[in-house]
Amino acid sequence: MEFNGVKDKVVIVTGASRGIGRAMAEVFGENGMKVVCAARSEEQGKEVVASIESKGGDAIFVKTDCSKATEIKALVDKTVEHYGRLDGVVSNAGIGMGGTPLHEYEVEDYEKVFSLNSEGVFAGMKYGTEAILKSKSEGGFLINVASVAGLMPQSGQALYTATKFGVVGMTRAAAMDYAKYGITVNAICPGYTKTSIFGDAGDAAMDFFANDCPAGRMGDPRECAYLGLFLASDMARYITGAAIPVDGALSAGHKSVTTWKHPEILTGEGLSSESTIAAIMEDPKGLEIVRKFLPGFEENEQAKQAYGMTFKTLAPMLGLPEDVVGSMLSELDQL
């Protein structure tokens, strides 16, 4: 059980600036692969390259908006220009979106999530495969980072689930296309994993996700990365067309919680601390209260992932003094 066979393989990792993508890039670099780190954040991407190089690895950064197929093509071209070949692509870049029923999404939401989670993965597979074939790679591979949502539908996650089911479908179909040409195509399906999206969550929030998982804990990004290393290795040449969960048995059977952003469509009741954060943020008076107690909350991209929750649930997780939380909820209840 060794990974010498991956040494000097050239691999592209999209979304490599943080989370699972960063872990994947670093594990590949630690095992002698030449890593092309692609992401929108130049500062974070170059930090990953520096981390790989500090351990004796070989890596470069290519600034890429992975929601644009033209930029994915340019990424592949720059990789071949720099290293002279390509052996594998890890299509990891993606965004989460969920927590509301389908009718509350906008067309713009559809376009945003599909451009990155679906079209971006397709472009990585298309242009990556062309370059791998031209490189005459022995042991070529495509790894798509999907989600447990690509294995089991989740309520309130219609658009995200659709993209991840699509990724799994493309993975399996492409595996049949390229099996006889020596290119393996597999999907990794993470469950709750400790990435930057949970960076500002308090202990109560982290406990919720851990307790929701049968394993009783959240995953570490490197646990997905080690699977990626195995799939890129000579030991996995007969594994292709697989969608492999890394989720502590979450996808073995799970019921997701769906929160309506606008439950008043059914009840006709007004806003309060038990209304969804999304509804509060859309109300001028509610927004004023949020700005008073949580300055900067509306600009925080990570906080937007919690818009399907209520402030009554979220506020105690933010580490605020109890009297501040009480005052905030009280003012919200008077809307």
CA-based R_g, the chain, Å: 21
> Could you identify the residue written with the tokens 């376009």?
111
Backbone angles phi, psi at 193, to 5 degrees: -130, 135
Q: Give the pair of three-digit tokens for residue 323.
A: 């009297």
How far is Cα 169 from Cα 163, in angstroms, rounded to an integer? 10
Catalytic residue among 160, 178, 192, 307: 160
Non-local (6+) Cβ contacts of 209 within 8 A are: 192, 198, 218
Q: Which residue type, as a one-letter code, is found at position 265?
A: I
**Is 160 a known active-site residue?**
yes
Other Cβ atoms less than 10 A from the Cβ of 136: the count is 9
How far is Cα 300 from Cα 197, in angstroms, rounded to an integer? 11
Q: Which residue type, as a one-letter code, is found at position 99?
A: G
* Closest CA relative to residue 174, chosen from 233, 136, 138, 127: 127
Non-local (6+) Cβ contacts of 122 within 8 A are: 69, 170
| Residues catalogued as catalytic | 160
